[in-house]
Structure 1
Amino acid sequence: MPLPQALVTDSATFLLRRATESDVPSLVDLIANDSLGRQRERVDNLTPYRQAFHAIDSDPAHVLLVAANEDEALVGTMQLTFVRGLARQGALRAQIDAVHVRENCRSLGLGRAMMRWAIDEARRQGCALVRLTSHKQRTDAHRFYSRLGFEASHEGFTLAL
């Protein structure tokens, strides 16, 4: 996996790299910094986030990524997971999750650059397809993913436990 990677957009250059444990507080802040995140995240206790980070980081099927600006502040994140299934002749799939770009960095091309990197990495790994999910309330994200060539091909279901 070619990391770290410079992501050059029309207006800025960002560094895409693997997340480290020291990034966890900034990552939690990033994912909690929107209407859905404010409802779901508990930023007062980082212990479960640190535990999740270690589980993700120790599993070679997962990579938790961060994008930093020139000041080294974290302004984007996503998780890329590789899943093998029996369907599609045992095809390997890439799953993109938890894509977040700090509000003041949206419309700079960072999200597009992150997604292109993930798609290219999926190809490099031999994946047959790339999947992602997006909450129904995130209509701007849906338009963004459509512009990247993703199709709303499946209906997803969630069961909270």
Structure 2
Amino acid sequence: MTAEFGTAPTLMTADVGPGTFSLRRATKADLPRILALLADDQLGATRENADDLVPYQQAFDAIDADPAHLLVVGELAGDVVATFQLSYLPGLSRKGSWRAQIEAVRVSDVLRGRGVGALMIEWAVEQARERGCSLVQLTTDKSRTAAHRFYERLGFVASHEGMKLTL
């Protein structure tokens, strides 16, 4: 399976009440707003630092250049109000199946509870299905209990205990 993304500027649109919400591939110009979304919670506030954009620009370039990764932004009335990353990973387990990894899901606090997060995750799951993935996985910090409930409502199951080693 080759994971390739379309070149269409708009990936998905939906009415979310206050207007039309759309998903599109992120551009480098979106970085400041993406970083603001990533930093807009108790965990991100301590991890993200937009004072030095160089490492973020380098990471963006690597993501953007790799067809197995897609950095997505959600827009409402021309403003970036949401983001996530979708990556495709080959693996030998599960009979050599592909899996999709969803990372860094963020929705602006003014839109939380309006279905924007569900629209994004449902779109990502459908992309994974279309590309033949057998599994969609994500991680969420243990302290994010509201996020756990959100993902469970969308059918995700806390089936594994994740571990990380900070380098």
TM-score by length of 1: 0.96
Instruction: State which of 43, 50, 53 in structure 1 corresponds to 2:50.
Output: 43
* Contact 1:66/1:75, CA 8 A, preserved across alignment: yes
Q: Which runs of 4+ in 1 moved over 3 A?
A: none
Query: 1:124 maps to what in 2?
Result: 130
Query: 1:148 maps to what in 2?
Result: 154
Change in CA separation of 1:91 and 1:9 when aligned onto 2, cut-off 3 Å: same
After TM superposition, the structure 1 = structure 2 runs for residues 43-62 of structure 1, keeping only pairs within 5 Å, are 43-62=50-69
Question: Between the two proteins, what is the percent identity of the paired residues?
Answer: 50
CA deviation map 1:43-91 (0-9, x unaligned): 2111111110000000111000000102x11110000000010001100
Query: 1:18 maps to what in 2?
Result: 25
Q: What is the RMSD of the two structures over their aligned residues, measured on CA atoms? A: 1.1
State the aligned residue count: 160
Using the alignment, how far apart are the partners of 1:102 and 1:61 within structure 2?
26
Change in CA separation of 1:10 and 1:25 when aligned onto 2, cut-off 3 Å: closer
Using the alignment, how far apart are the partners of 2:104 and 2:16 within structure 1?
24
Query: 1:133 maps to what in 2?
Result: 139
* Contact 2:16/2:116, CA 8 A, preserved across alignment: no
TM-score by length of 2: 0.92
